[in-house]
Chain A
Amino acid sequence: MIHFQAADVAALAPEILLSAGAIVLMVTEVFLRGERRGYQALLTAAFAAAAFEAFAAQSGNPPRAIFGGFAVQDGFATFAGAVVCAGLFATALIGAGFLRPRAAERGEFYALALLAAVGMCLLVRGADLLFVFVALELMSVSTYALVAYLRVGTRPSEASFKYFILGAFSSALFLYGTALCFGATGRTSLSGIAAAGGGRLLLAGLGLILAGLAFKVAAVPFHMWTPDVYEGAPTPVTAFMAVGVKAAAFAVLVRILLSAFGARPFAAAWQPLLEALAVLTMFGGNLLALGQRSVKRMLAYSSVAHAGYLLVAVASTARTGRAAAAAVRGEAVTGLLFSLAAYTATTAGAFAALAAFERLSGSEPQPWDLDRFAGLAKRRPWAAAATAMLMLSLAGIPPSAGFVGKLLVFRAAVDAGLVPLAILGVIASLIGLYYYLRVVVVMYMEPAPAGAPVSPPSWPTDLTLVATAAIVLLIGIGPGPLTAAAAAATGLLGG
């Protein structure tokens, strides 16, 4: 009666490791008496690294369905899962530096982060809409609780409430779309939906699924919650939302579009939709970021803008009648995966910078304002240099990982015949130059205000900051290995 093999369980090794980590952290917290909780962040980081290794060990395996087709093991899921684990690693380190001075370091925080990561890793390998929904909820519920973790003042309360309500709403949209797809085809598995095909009802289901996921990736016009939630959430959680949630949601979006709706009539329907979303998101994010004085809010809009660039890659994967479609699709998925990895490293670092310079006290209003960055080049030259590097990567200036990512994405768009989209993307990222460089200018050109309070230095945060900046620079100088890994990971089961 058992419908799975030992190999299926082995394929889930990363998720099992992360779940074990969550349970260990949750249970040990109960027995703690003193204040010695320094091990928690390191343990979380260790479990994240172990899960990363488990994903890396799977990288060469041939793609196959596991657990009766509910999930798959393929290069795409492996790469995206490894990116999620890297994001969790950085989040744990930023969390250590952020929570300890606020006397809020508890096992629950890290356990929830690990559970959210389990949800993300399951999400990227989900091959059945029913299972995708369970994984989506596991990710979302853990994230709601993390956003509500530190509720000092009105802004964090507003953020947690807003994220919970809108997140539940978007999950409901996704679920309704799933129900319509089931009604149209009688299947919930992606391959089953692709085989059955269907008419307008299936298209309506796809539309609702797209809307639900567009909420999660914060695409314009579904981005309204992003600035408030990103600003109100604790900084490590914001970092995790910007890297983990976004990477997982993009991975599952691509899998659903390619596995279930990859056929030409459907691709012809969703490609223009995604192009429009991409243009709106790129310009919306960049234009709204221009006026922000709060760096955290600016990074929130920057994350919206980056969702736009990633949507360009997704739109380029559509199989429309052009020759060499498979090659173009491979190129687009490579660009997407590379950009996800580059964006994860860069954004995790940018939020580490924010956490390093952020005001400690919870008194409101909490302006994570630009003035905090003034004169940093004199006071903390290394941290300032790392932050400058990360801002250059976000802006897409060579040599940085962000530049290579954008290059790959826009080249895939040109090869897919979406030349106007690529040109608009370049224009949008030129707008972005202004606000990213403004941070660098403030750090290097403006003197520190008199009596500026200095945040207590914390080695995990500083380590994350400098390490991510170094990684971003190294990928920018020699993008070969990461590009090769991303190109090898485009094998999508049933894509």
Chain B
Amino acid sequence: MIETVLFWIFAVLAVLGGAGVVLSRSPLNGAMSLVGAFFALAGLYLLLSAQLLAALQVLVYAGAIMVLFLFVIMLLNVGADEVRQERIGPIRGGVATLTSLAALALVGREFLRIRFPFARPPSDFGTVAAVGRVLFSDFTLPFEATSLLLLAGILGAVVVAKGKI
């Protein structure tokens, strides 16, 4: 019972946050809405008893990445009036609407075909031990490749940030 109530609270918050990102004119409000959506998602993960995923969601997305977003917005001092107000013509608007509706129909049809309830995940699903075990056994290769990707990212950032080679 309490789980259902919590689910609805988090779900509504997540959707509201997502809508806020799209609808708000000011970049700062949009970024803050995204933070809210991330926290709501973390709550949903907790309800699924995936503690590690929830913690990472807060630390990495709501913490590190969004702080970077806000930092850039404040550094550049982008206000609502800085964002170019563009009029979207009927053709572009029509094409965009039709494409979005088609995409929605495609994905929605697939959602309708899902049979509930799912098989229960194993009891240690989403714990540090379980994630660590999978990461270092089944996913060794992508994991190591990702470490190289991070190295390339750091190296690239150094090269780009240097004023002069």
Contact status A137-B149, CB under 8 Å: yes
A183 to B149, CA, bound (A): 26
Contact status A108-B142, CB under 8 Å: no
- Within residues 129 to 165 of chain B, which ones have a CB less than 8 A from any CB in chain A? 133, 137-142, 145-146, 148-149, 151-153, 155-160, 165
Between B137, B148, B155, the greatest number of chain A beta carbons within 10 A of the residue's beta carbon is seen for B148
B105's nearest neighbour on chain A, judged by CB, is A200
Q: Which of B142, B153, B156, B159 contacts A134 (CB 8 A)?
A: B142
* Interface mask (B98-125 → A, CB under 8 Å = 1, otherwise 0): 0000010011011000000000000000
A-B interface pairs (CB < 8 A), number? 90
Q: Which residues of A contact B152 (CB under 8 A)?
A: 112, 115-116, 119, 138, 141-142, 145
Q: Which residues of B contact A108 (CB under 8 A)?
A: 155, 158-159
Contact status B141-A70, CB under 8 Å: yes
Q: Does A395 contact B (CB under 8 A)?
A: no
A19 to B106, CA, bound (A): 42
B120 CB to closest chain A CB (Å) equals 17
Main secondary structure of the interface of A (DSSP, over half): helix
Q: Which of A112, A183, A184 contacts B155 (CB 8 A)?
A: A112
B65 CB to closest chain A CB (Å) equals 14
Q: Which residues of A contact B133 (CB under 8 A)?
A: 1
Q: Does A245 contact B (CB under 8 A)?
A: no
A107's nearest neighbour on chain B, judged by CB, is B155
Q: Does A370 contact B (CB under 8 A)?
A: no
B158's nearest neighbour on chain A, judged by CB, is A108
Contact status A201-B160, CB under 8 Å: no
Contact status B149-A144, CB under 8 Å: no
Q: Which residues of A contact B107 (CB under 8 A)?
A: 180, 183, 201
Contact status B149-A145, CB under 8 Å: no
Contact status B148-A19, CB under 8 Å: yes
Contact status B142-A112, CB under 8 Å: no
Query: Contacts A106-B165, A137-B149, A145-B160 given: A183-B110 contact, CB under 8 Å?
Result: yes
* Interface mask (A130-169 → B, CB under 8 Å = 1, otherwise 0): 1100110110011011001110000000001000000000
A138 to B157, CA, bound (A): 14
* Interface mask (A435-450 → B, CB under 8 Å = 1, otherwise 0): 0000000000000000
- Within residues 99 to 124 of chain A, which ones have a CB less than 8 A from any CB in chain B? 104, 106, 108-109, 111-112, 115-116, 118-119, 122
Q: Which residues of A contact B151 (CB under 8 A)?
A: 22, 115
Q: Which of A70, A128, A130, A138 contacts B148 (CB 8 A)?
A: A138
B129 CB to closest chain A CB (Å) equals 12
Q: Which of B139, B142, B155 contacts A115 (CB 8 A)?
A: B155
B142 CB to closest chain A CB (Å) equals 5
Q: Which residues of A contact B160 (CB under 8 A)?
A: 145, 148, 160
A128's nearest neighbour on chain B, judged by CB, is B142
Q: Which of B110, B137, B156 contacts A3 (CB 8 A)?
A: B137
Q: Does A71 contact B (CB under 8 A)?
A: yes
Q: Which residues of B contact A204 (CB under 8 A)?
A: 103, 106
A392 CB to closest chain B CB (Å) equals 36
* Interface mask (A175-193 → B, CB under 8 Å = 1, otherwise 0): 0000010011000000000
Query: Contacts A141-B152, A148-B160, A149-B159 given: A201-B110 contact, CB under 8 Å?
Result: yes
Q: Does A4 contact B (CB under 8 A)?
A: yes
Between A4, A111, A116, A142, the greatest number of chain B beta carbons within 10 A of the residue's beta carbon is seen for A142
Q: Which residues of B contact A131 (CB under 8 A)?
A: 141-142, 145
A4's nearest neighbour on chain B, judged by CB, is B140
A135 to B107, CA, bound (A): 27
A118 CB to closest chain B CB (Å) equals 6
A314 to B61, CA, bound (A): 40
Contact status B165-A111, CB under 8 Å: no
Q: Which residues of B contact A118 (CB under 8 A)?
A: 148
A119 to B160, CA, bound (A): 20
Contact status A142-B156, CB under 8 Å: yes
A493 to B103, CA, bound (A): 33
A200 to B102, CA, bound (A): 11
- Within residues 56 to 95 of chain A, which ones have a CB less than 8 A from any CB in chain B? 66-68, 70-71
A2's nearest neighbour on chain B, judged by CB, is B137
* Interface mask (B18-36 → A, CB under 8 Å = 1, otherwise 0): 0000000000000000000
Query: Contacts A4-B140, A68-B138, A115-B151 given: A201-B145 contact, CB under 8 Å?
Result: no
Q: Does A172 contact B (CB under 8 A)?
A: no
B residues sitting closer than 8 Å to A (CB atoms) are 103, 106-107, 109-110, 133, 137-142, 145-146, 148-149, 151-153, 155-160, 165
Pairs A–B under 8 Å by Cβ, sample size 19: A4-B140, A4-B141, A26-B155, A70-B142, A112-B155, A118-B148, A119-B149, A128-B142, A131-B141, A135-B145, A137-B149, A138-B149, A138-B152, A141-B149, A141-B153, A144-B156, A148-B156, A183-B110, A184-B110
Taking A3-B137, A138-B148, A145-B156 as given, write out 8 further A-B residue pairs in contact, using a Cβ cutoff of 8 Å, ordered by the A residue number: A3-B138, A112-B152, A115-B148, A115-B151, A115-B155, A134-B142, A144-B156, A184-B110
The 4 closest A-B pairs by CB, nearest first: A145-B156, A67-B141, A115-B152, A104-B165
